[in-house]
A and B are shown apart, each in its own frame.
With several copies, the nearest count.
Chain A
Amino acid sequence: MRSAIVTHPLDPAALTAEVANVANGATVVFVGTVRDMNDGRAVTGMEYTAYLPMAERELRRIVEEAAARFGTNDVVVEHRIGELGLGEASVVIAVAHPHRANAYDASRYVIEALKARVPIWKREWYADGERAWVDPTRAAREALAEEPS
């Protein structure tokens, strides 16, 4: 079990090796990468920033929760912050378990909790030169605001 917020490029193979264990039959590795398009706008890069001590604490808790809930200590997650180019990995989650259902579910648990709770923010750089902080709640709020009252 390990979690870290780092500034260097992530290495999915190293994290995969870290959870290897002959008691496990299934390993699930999730890699989140910077993509070239978001909400229809061309993106050229991304900048991640964190409230570091709290982000480290929340990430550690999430890994502990996943381990307890899905019954494996072979859970490792690293999130990168700083400036990332297209295709670069921002997060890698490696989970191994004797059985595949739990490996998938634990992996999914970690990424969903990370996106909901870990104080990390990202600013997209668009092809037109603009930069904007990503707000995952905006679409939902705008939809609510448009509802007839």
Chain B
Amino acid sequence: MTVTALLFASYADALGRSSVSLTLPPGATVSDALDRLRELPGGSALPPSPLVAINLAFARTNVELSPGDELAVIPPVAGG
């Protein structure tokens, strides 16, 4: 299956891109997707347990992904 990973702020700077298309085996979890991102150039900048959201809602890293999901990897927020 294919999911889209979105990167923001310092994470986007580290990986040099703001979105990555990932092809993952069926049953892959958020953790699996994060491991894949860490293999990319600059991916070591991602922390052990970053905040993530699936399709606009915060999610845990053990959640299984579905084809077409939008997985956002969210740096510490700093609004206001």
The answer to whether A and B touch in the complex, with CB atoms under 8 Å apart, is: yes
Interface positions of A (Cβ within 8 A of B): 32, 48-51, 53-55, 57, 79, 90-91, 100, 111, 114-123, 133-138
Q: Is the CB of A119 within 8 A of B72?
A: yes
Which of B5-13, B28-36, B61-69 lies at the interface with chain A? B5-13
**Which B residues are CB-close (under 8 A) to A100?**
80
Q: Is the CB of A120 within 8 A of B78?
A: yes
Shortest CB distance A61–B (Å): 10
Size category, B interface: 10 to 19
Shortest CB distance A131–B (Å): 10
In Å, the complex CA distance between A118 and B53 comes to 12
Interface centre among B57, B72, B78 (most CB of A within 10 A): B78
Shortest CB distance A60–B (Å): 11
Shortest CB distance B58–A (Å): 8
**Which A residues are CB-close (under 8 A) to B53?**
51, 54, 119
Q: Is the CB of A133 within 8 A of B9?
A: yes
Contact of B76 among A50, A51, A55, A136 (CB under 8 A): A136
Q: Is the CB of A119 within 8 A of B77?
A: yes
